[in-house]
Amino acid sequence: MMNIIIISLLTLFQVTNGLSTVGTAKYVNDLDTTWKATETPSAVNISTKLGSILSHEIGYVEPEIFKYMTKDVPEEFDVRTAFPECESVVSRVRDQSNCGSCWAFGATEAFNDRYCIATGDNTKVFSPTDTLACCSGFRCGFSKGCEGGQPSGAWSWFTTTGVVEGGDYGDDTTCMPYPFPSCAHHVESDDLPACDTLPTYDTPECTTDCTYGNTVGGDSRFYAKTSYSLKGVNDIQQDLMTYGTVTTAFSVYEDFEVYSSGVYQHETGKYLGGHAVKMIGWGVDNGIPYWTCVNSWNDEWGESGSFRILRGSDECGIESNIVAGTV
């Protein structure tokens, strides 16, 4: 009897106070919920990769809300197939490495997708490094580089300052490639070092000089026309169908570390911070409605770099932190 009581108390403690990554994965999978978890190599300090200010937090700057008329939408939608000429751009999965730059990636990548959709130019690769390093202070929602920032500030920045081209780490063909190497985010990898073996990187210096090529200026910068926020499932869906990818942010809990596949919804673990990603569509899986999002933890994580999250109930705030803009 005493052993049963001890086991029950231990289970209660784990559920309410968080588990090790191994314990969390087993707990989630035993629930037979809408998603699958996998054991991670170690208890990585995920906070180094969470860097987005959320709508309920002090300091959040919300752009003007854009509204749509309510109308019917399809059961499923994916920007990659809806705009096939930009599939290669939208499908690109990037890697923020060991820096809290998710806000810069989520905003810059969504802008990149929308630029392609608006112009038909699928050759451009926009630079999260430029956004990360230079979008700061009051004009950028008090974003602080690798210490976190606001996608809404970045989208506003795109309308006034724009962004240059910049590929991934090791790319020597674009103006401002990402300066930090890829790493394995909560997964075992044969090719990449674990992220917790890398240093926690500092924000790159803002510069007007390209790492490769000429000085930044003139036609080398790309601008958005407007920035705005969206509220409610219908408006998010209408905007995705009209203009393409949006940026979103959400609350991350410990169980998100062990996500492997399926439609994520928070089951266990404490709050860790805000995280920004790009949202590219929606669908239904065995009667469960979901949003499709692309992360910035490379394609070895999750569902080839993306994840699905419960739609319609503002799961983890995913529907309360949508920002975008026109090109």
What residues are labeled active site?
A: 102, 275, 295
Residue type, 298: N
Residue whose C-alpha is closest to residue 231's, from 252, 248, 251, 253: 248
Q: Are 48 and 99 in contact, with CB atoms under 8 Å apart?
A: yes
Residue corresponding to tokens 């392609």: 116
**Spatial distance between the Cα atoms of 204 and 147, rounded to a whole number of angstroms:** 12
**Spatial distance between the Cα atoms of 293 and 277, rounded to a whole number of angstroms:** 7
Q: Distances from the Cα of 250 to the Cαs of 209, 216, 264, 277, 278, in angstroms?
A: 34, 33, 12, 9, 11
Task: Output DSSP code: residue 145.
Answer: G
How many Cβ atoms sit within 10 Å of the Cβ of residue 59? Answer: 10
**Spatial distance between the Cα atoms of 214 and 5, rounded to a whole number of angstroms:** 69
Q: Are 322 and 247 in contact, with CB atoms under 8 Å apart?
A: yes
How many Cβ atoms sit within 10 Å of the Cβ of residue 6? Answer: 10
| Region for residue 4 given its phi and psi (left: phi exceeds 0; alpha: psi -120 to 50; beta: otherwise) | alpha
